[in-house]
Every structure is written in structure tokens, then in C-alpha cells.
Amino acid sequence: MAPRAWIAALGAALCLGVGAQEARPLADDPVLEAQVLRIADELRCLVCQNETIAASNADLAVDLRKQIRTQLRAGRSEREILDFMVQRYGDFVLYRPPLKGATLLLWVGPFALLAIGGLTLALAVRRRRRSIPATAPSEADRQRARALLDAGEPSP
């Protein structure tokens, strides 16, 4: 298996919970656990990349939830914890990154690709229509087609 495929398979297995701990509350305090999950819903799992760390069972997501619990117990606010995670992992860790120069491609990219695809499709259809002859077949072409059709019919 190629190294890249192996890494992708490992990441998928971790996201599905193979070899990972179950995502269960570690706090005895339900209020603290609710805060942890609210903050974890704002952060992207860096292993799975399409899940929040609240939904992921990857070991890294479990560790990040523990880190959030520790910081909440230390008295840090939600904003301070999110800022810490961004400082450590970059804007990519935010499930909804802010709109700024560095993340502009994340926000505009899908729409730009959709527009480029639509424009390419429209141009291809227009080019295809132009290549089809718009004239009707001549009388000679019709007679030749009739002769071919009549020659192909079996005799009774």
C-alpha cells in the first residue's frame, strides 16, 4: 500500500473509532461537560478534518477535549481557549474559520470552482451547438438514404 493511502486509511480508522477511546464525559459536573462540548463543537478534528472534536473519537480529539476541560477548570474563558487552539494549530482548527485574507480561499474557493465549472459547461455546450450543421439534407442526400434503406429491406 502506498504511504499516502496508508496514512488516509489510518486517519479513517481513527475517525471511525478503531483503536480510539469511547467519547464519554470525563467531568462529574454536567455544566462543565456542556461547556466542553459547546467549545468542542467549534473546533475541527485535525485527524478527521470533516468532524468537530465533539463528534470525533480520534485520540487527538479526545486529548483536545481533555485540554478544554483542564483549561475550563483553570478558569479560562471560551474565547481564551479558542484563541489558544488557534495559536497552537492555526485557523484551520476552527470549524468556521474567520473571513480574512489568509482564509479567503476557504470561503470563496467552492463558489469560484462552481462558477468556473458552470462557465466551462456553458462554453462547451455553445461550441457543440456550433459544430452541428444547421442545414437540412439536400435532395440528393435524401435519394441516397432512400436507396440504402430500400436495398437493405428483405424481399417478400
pLDDT per residue over 121-135, tens digit each? 999 999 988 887 667
Residue-wise pLDDT for 101-155, tens only, equals 877 887 888 899 999 999 999 999 999 888 876 677 889 988 998 998 888 766 5
Q: What is the pTM of this model?
A: 0.53
Name the more confident of 90 and 8: 90
Give the total residue count for the chain. Answer: 156
| Average pLDDT along the chain | 80
The C-alpha cell that represents 96 in the structure block: 468556521
Q: Render the burial of 22-42: b for 16+ CB within 10 Å, e for the rest.
A: ebeeebeeeebbebbbebbeb
What is the residue-wise DSSP string for 103-145? Answer: GHHHHHHHHHHHHHHHHHHHHHHHHHHHHS--SPPPHHHHHHH
Domain 3-98 CATH assignment equals 3.40.109.10: no
The Cα–Cα gap between 109 and 99 comes to: 12
The Cα–Cα gap between 64 and 62 comes to: 5
